[in-house]
Amino acid sequence: MLKPLRENLFIVLQRLLPARLLGRCVYRATRSTRPLLRDLLIGGFTRLYAVDLAEALPPPGGYPSFNAFFTRALRPGARPADPDPATVTSPADGIVQQVGALRGAALLQVKGCDYDAGELLGDAAAATAFHDGLFITIYLAPWNYHRVHMPVAGRIRRMTHVPGELWSVNAVTAARIPRLFSRNERLVCHGVAPWGPFAIVLVGALNVGSVSTAWAGEVLPRRSAGPHHWDYPAAAPGMALGRGDLLGQFNMGSTVVVLLPRGAAGWRAGLAVGEAVKVGATLGRLATP
């Protein structure tokens, strides 16, 4: 009885919170270089979430801000990947929230609740390439490594900012807010490989102060009345990325959704909702290496 009540109160609280103002406050606090505030945030966070720093690659002189700590790099070899180039690997550390096949343009959010790929991408025409294809949704908890890497090799040809709300993206909210991932502010990276197109969606959330990409730097937060596109020609430098290369990073916890076209790949047998994955872990295999 108490659990449903707590969950309902959590949703009500989110409805009442000034999410944008809260996000701006978090943004400023997490980038402060004042030693007292920085050390208080890092120390409190590390104790609260029992963060394992053994695999981190601390910068010379230490972390200048909480955000630098939160988006910390890892030591070389901390996330080994299957050497087989035909494998599809995890783009992030986190929990598999959903995985499977699209039904037409519909992705499963939770049992009995779908959302539309066109809405998610902010582009109905681009979404047709993924009808009846594959998707996976990975939730990054606050204690996870928060850099996002390429699950496959390919060239990024377009980046799209889709404005939206800032709901939490944890399991409780996903179960209670319809079309959550297509309602929140998000950054869509459209890629192309010899076997077809792919999309990697970085979904913003409550307290997510920013989203950055390896080629454009900080992109969110951004004010926009509608989707905003950046197109990259085939000759653009730095847009061809290998599997496992850095794609971008989140500030605070959030979610990554990967879309693959029909027939391009198959998910690994046994890959299931609730499984903990890390960057480089094998999620599936391409049909055409």
Structure tokens at 180: 């959550």
What's the one-letter identity of residue 262? Answer: R
Selecting among 90, 123, 146, 149, the annotated active-site residue is 149
Comparing CA positions, the residue from 82, 90, 84, 85 lying closest to residue 267 is 90
Distance CA 260, CA 242 (A): 16
Q: Which whole-number Å values give the CA distances from 117 to 111, 135, 192, 279, in the listed order?
A: 17, 10, 17, 24
Helices 35-49, 19-30: crossing angle, 10 deg rounding: 110
Place of tokens 């000759």: 235
Active site residue 254: yes
Distance CA 37, CA 53 (A): 20
Selecting among 65, 90, 93, 146, the annotated active-site residue is 93
Active site positions, annotated: 93, 149, 254
